[in-house]
Amino acid sequence: MVFRFQTMLTTDLLHRTLHFAFILSAILISGCQSDMEPIDCYEIGVIGGEQCTLGTLVSIKNLKNVGETIQYYDGITYKNVVRIYSEVSIPRASKGFIQFREFDREKDRELRDSYAAICLAILAPYPVPTIVATFWSEEPC
């Protein structure tokens, strides 16, 4: 009877230890994974300004099927192009890395209006999606 009680106690202690080790491992692994999850940071190539909206046209390199293919004023065709309005300062660089959110017509009315320009009919805005840059860097984020 004493032997059986000791065996039950040892088995119970082993189960609790394994249970604790499993939970601790799960917490540590999930903590590491959250540190390693990619931040939505995308490499872009700056094409140039847009005459009508004063937005910046960029080609997103590592996020597919977001933008449109356009032929810019310089005659070169670019793929995956979007228009950027920005909450942050964007230097005149040829490439960079951004984080962005979708453009909201109501929420971003003031932002859009600050980019408004008088436009000649021959310089209609490019038919590309508009996004709002919330972060900009010349180095990967």
CA distance linking residue 55 with residue 113, whole number of Å: 11
What average pLDDT score do residues 114-141 get? 80
Task: Give kind and range of the element (H or E) at residue 111.
Answer: helix 109-114
pLDDT 10s digits, 79-122: 999 999 888 777 777 889 999 999 888 888 777 666 666 676 66
pLDDT 10s digits, 44-75: 999 988 877 778 899 999 888 899 999 998 89
CA distance linking residue 13 with residue 17, whole number of Å: 6
pLDDT 10s digits, 6-56: 555 456 655 566 555 555 455 555 444 334 344 689 999 999 888 777 788
Q: Quote the radius of gyration of the chain (alpha carbons, Å).
A: 27
Here the tokens at position 69 are 């293919």
Is the CA virtual torsion 21, 22, 25, 26 positive or negative?
Answer: negative
